[in-house]
Amino acid sequence: MTGGAGQRIDLVLWHARIVRTRADAAALARAGRVRVNGARVTGAARLVRLGDVITVALHGGVRVVRLLGFAARRGRAEDARALIEDVPETDEPGQRGMR
């Protein structure tokens, strides 16, 4: 799906190479370690839209990115970098206390 309607959070995390496998992305979402626009995600099927801010608690740290695009499949690392941009801490609305 490359349209503007939305895409599942597990696919976005996998396509953008934030995680190594789609199963890892789904497990993070089910464990509540992912937030979209400050709201905790409880399942891998949660749809995200362009411009959404995604926060992921991963490897003892937190990564915050803004979604810039969707991919139909997992591609090259260069393509993955075009899907997201890192968000500086000062731009994180409601992201404090993610643990």
Range of the domain at 33: 7-90
pLDDT in tens, 26-70: 999 999 999 999 999 999 999 999 999 999 999 889 999 999 999
Domain of residue 35, CATH code: 3.10.290.10
pLDDT of residue 48: 98
* Distances in whole angstroms, Cα of residue 43 to Cα of each of 12, 59, 78: 13, 20, 28
Q: Does 98 reside within a domain?
A: no
In the chain, the DSSP E strands lie at 7-8, 34-36, 39-40, 47-48, 53-58, 61-67, 84-86
- Return d(Cα 85, Cα 66) in angstroms, integer: 5
Q: Does 1 reside within a domain?
A: no
Q: Does 40 reside within a domain?
A: yes
Q: Does 34 reside within a domain?
A: yes
- Return d(Cα 6, Cα 71) in angstroms, integer: 11
**Can you give the pTM of this predicted structure?**
0.83
Q: Does 69 reside within a domain?
A: yes
Q: Does 95 reside within a domain?
A: no
Total domain count, the chain: 1
